[in-house]
Amino acid sequence: MKKKLVQSVKEHFVQWFDNEPEFVFLSPGRINIIGEHVDYNDGYVLPAAINKYIGFAISKNETSACTIFAQDLNQSHKFDLNDTLKPIDKMWMNYILGVLQQLKEKGFAMQGFNMVFSSTIPMGAGLSSSAALECGIGFAMNNMFDLALTKIEIALIGQKSEHTFAGVNCGIMDQFASVFGKKNHVIKLDCNTLEYEYHQADFKKYSLLLLDSNVKHTHLTSGYNTRREEVEQGLATIQQHFPEVKTFRNCTENMVLELKEKLGETIFKRCHFVVKEIQRVQDAVDALEQSDFKTLGQLMSATHRGLSKEYEVSCDELDFLVDAVQHENSVLGARMMGGGFGGCSINLVEKGTEEELINRISKQYQNQFGIELKAYKVKISKGTTVYKN
Ligand code: GLA
């Protein structure tokens, strides 16, 4: 699949620009085992890059003009690097422009380039195709123009592009996973210090299965930004009563419970979820290290309940998909994944039972919502990279 993508962007590049691209880069999407909506709350997350990518075929062109062709959308955009770059009405382009504008602001010298990109990461499915795009372009510029950026700088620039050019006040998880992905490893990232460690993603007789609700997360931007404001407000209240609390990391469940009345119902639920989720990630890493998949699965399912009932970022379709597998002997745990309001559920499933499960759930899902279910068996892969034949 990776080879096919590379071949395809190369061919389209030749069609568009009449010569072979100098470089091909690959930037992956991500999954997250556990640790949702805690990256911007100083928690831990446990993501991994997957074998679904955006492929970029690209060449410098010795001018200051850039021509970018989004192969899957059959759209193109031209601009001059010397102009101030601003958000435009092509959303896909904003992720790219946001990265380039920051590089310019930081004083990095770049030249014009021609580029074709195409993706095997489904869009709007919660697999972070936007982070893959941001990190891919950052990585490409770094590589082509010798900018000497570190990996963490590339991830942070990607995140800021999302804030400034796409309007989503996201955390660092998606960009970090896309850049730092390592084959067959999950990343335990401390979102407070940005320290990280890799853990073997060896699920023995289990595998990770994604069920795509096919509901595009259109409410994500407003819902996401509102959640951020709510938890900020919650933390400020907690700090008034417990000045020793610097971040959610050193806030205990008891503190939140004690302030239930003062926080008010909604903010209480949000804060309670955050504190519990930060703990769950640490427990999940222990469970993974001990190959205790039953516990890992239970933690994932507990995360879903929290995301659905307390953080309220799920939707009927995702709740249905998670409920539908609760009593399956072959499924140890399931939860919605990513920002929410649509996208995929992630399931820890006994190997060999996937097809039968997919068939059964697809029928139930079709009957209930009239929507076609998609399923992806993903492999954990390496982060953003230059493709070498
Ligand atoms: C989106 C954001 C991430 C993270 C997740 C929820 O994917 O981009 O930063 O907050 O939602 O865990």
Catalytically annotated residue among 174, 292, 316, 319: 174
Query: Mean pLDDT in the chain?
Result: 97
Backbone angles phi, psi at 162, to 5 degrees: -65, -40
Q: What is the pLDDT of residues 32-72, one digit of tens each?
A: 999 999 999 999 999 999 999 999 999 999 999 999 999 99
Residues 356-373 have a mean pLDDT of 97
User: What CATH code is assigned to 206-378?
Assistant: 3.30.70.890
- Mention the CATH class of domain 2-202+382-386: alpha beta
Which of 31, 34, 37 maximizes ligand 1 atoms within 8 Å of its Cβ, making it the mutation to test the pocket? 37
Instruction: Mark whether 174 is an active-site residue.
Output: yes
- Report CA Rg, the chain: 21
Q: Strands of 374-377's sheet, edge to edge?
A: 331-336, 344-350, 206-212, 374-377
Taking the domains of the chain in order of start, what are their residue ranges?
Answer: 2-202+382-386, 206-378
Which of 173, 281, 336, 345 maximizes ligand 1 atoms within 8 Å of its Cβ, making it the mutation to test the pocket? 173
pTM as predicted? 0.97
Query: pLDDT-derived band of residue 218, with 50, 70 and 90 as boundaries?
Result: low
Residues near 352 by beta carbon (within 8 Å), at least 6 away in sequence: none
Q: Which atom of ligand 1 is nearest to the CA of 172?
A: 9
Residues near 49 by beta carbon (within 8 Å), at least 6 away in sequence: 28, 29, 30, 177, 178, 180, 181, 182, 380, 381, 382, 383
CA–centroid distance, residue 225 to ligand 1 (Å): 11
Cβ < 6 A, ligand 1 pocket: 36-37, 39-40, 128, 170-171, 173-174, 338-339
